[in-house]
């Protein structure tokens, strides 16, 4: 009986505690802590753009970068292997800052003090316009430039490269050929040609290839490019892949800036649980 009385007393105390006050909205975004792990996954929008770096010349980008997240800002890390967390464009544009653009508090200013509504934000170091054709979920491939504002972009509609698949996108001027074998001995080999990339056509069936099979299926492949000097195909990579229902493997072929031949760069596109 005493325990029951104590529980009733605790409940009464909790009921009397004031709710956490919410500050009034401001036209200027306030800083948000960088999300990582589960917290970042929960905060990420279900639709929008994810970013990944493809840099044949090895040019790097500032890290971390900052983007808008609703009425706030958050840091975002962009790598070359897996896409970043999803970002929601504002007016069809994603802006990037190399420092937190939210107004900083003056020395001695209380944390509850709000920045002035007319405070101006610094200019972003570069911005990305998201085309309407990108779809509700897309991956933006960033090709860094030494002048960061000249960073080039290319969008992949995630719906065109579904999970549980192995894909090849030819962004080079070299015709490609891929030979696959589902029995892994190449007695059942299948040859497919992958055309060159033309900016006016973008990424299309002529310059891309996909293999969609069953979960856990292992497939051997040989990827080659056509060499004009020898008038034959030269191997880029020979290996095997295992299909996963949780992610797709996208292999991007670009021109090696140090040699007159293609270079293979791979990214893994997995769907976050919160995307579903």
Identify whether the C-beta of residue 201 lies closer than 8 Å to the C-beta of residue 179. no
State how far the Cα of 121 lies from the Cα of 31, in Å rounded to an integer. 12
Q: Which residue has the tokens 């929960």?
A: 42
Where b means 16+ CB within 10 Å and e means fewer, 217-230 reads eebbbbbbbbeeee
- pLDDT of the chain along its 276 residues, tens only? 444 444 333 343 333 333 333 333 333 444 444 444 444 444 667 899 999 999 888 899 998 999 998 888 999 999 998 999 999 999 999 999 999 998 765 555 554 444 444 568 899 999 999 998 888 999 999 999 999 999 999 999 888 887 778 999 999 999 999 999 999 899 999 999 999 999 888 899 999 999 988 888 999 999 999 999 999 999 999 999 998 888 889 999 999 888 889 999 999 888 655 555
Where b means 16+ CB within 10 Å and e means fewer, 58-88 reads eeebeebbbbbbeeebbbbebebeebbbbbb
Question: What spatial distance separates the first Cα and last Cα of the chain, rounded to whole Å?
Answer: 48
47 preceded by cis ω (within 30°)? no
Q: In this predicted model, what pLDDT tens digit does every residue of 176-219 receive, in sequence order?
A: 999 999 998 999 999 999 999 998 888 999 999 999 888 889 99
Tokens at residue 228, please? 């004009």
State how far the Cα of 134 lies from the Cα of 80, in Å rounded to an integer. 20
């Amino acid at each position: 009986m005493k325990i029951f009385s104590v529980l009733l007393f605790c409940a009464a105390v909790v009921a009397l505690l004031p709710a956490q006050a919410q500050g009034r909205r401001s036209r200027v975004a306030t800083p948000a802590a960088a999300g990582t792990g589960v917290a970042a996954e929960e905060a990420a929008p279900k639709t929008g753009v994810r970013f990944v770096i493809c840099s044949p010349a090895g040019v790097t980008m500032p890290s971390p970068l900052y983007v808008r997240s609703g009425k706030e800002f958050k840091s975002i890390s962009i790598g070359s292997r897996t896409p970043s967390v999803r970002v929601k464009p504002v007016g069809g544009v994603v802006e990037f800052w190399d420092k937190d653009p939210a107004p900083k508090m003056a020395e001695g200013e209380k944390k509850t003090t709000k920045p002035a509504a007319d405070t101006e934000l610094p200019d972003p170091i570069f911005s990305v316009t998201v085309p309407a054709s990108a779809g509700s979920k897309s991956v933006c491939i960033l090709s860094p430039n030494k002048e960061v504002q000249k960073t080039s972009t290319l969008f992949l509609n995630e719906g065109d490269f579904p999970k549980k698949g192995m894909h090849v996108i030819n962004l080079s001027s070299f015709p490609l050929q891929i030979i696959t074998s589902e029995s892994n001995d190449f007695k059942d080999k299948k040859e497919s040609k992958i055309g060159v990339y033309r900016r006016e056509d973008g990424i299309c069936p002529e310059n891309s290839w996909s293999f969609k099979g069953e979960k856990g299926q292992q497939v051997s492949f040989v990827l080659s490019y056509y060499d004009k000097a020898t008038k034959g195909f030269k191997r880029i990579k020979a290996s095997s892949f295992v299909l996963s229902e949780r992610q797709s493997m996208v292999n991007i072929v670009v021109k090696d800036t140090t040699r007159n031949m293609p270079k293979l760069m791979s990214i893994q596109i997995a769907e976050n649980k919160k995307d579903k």
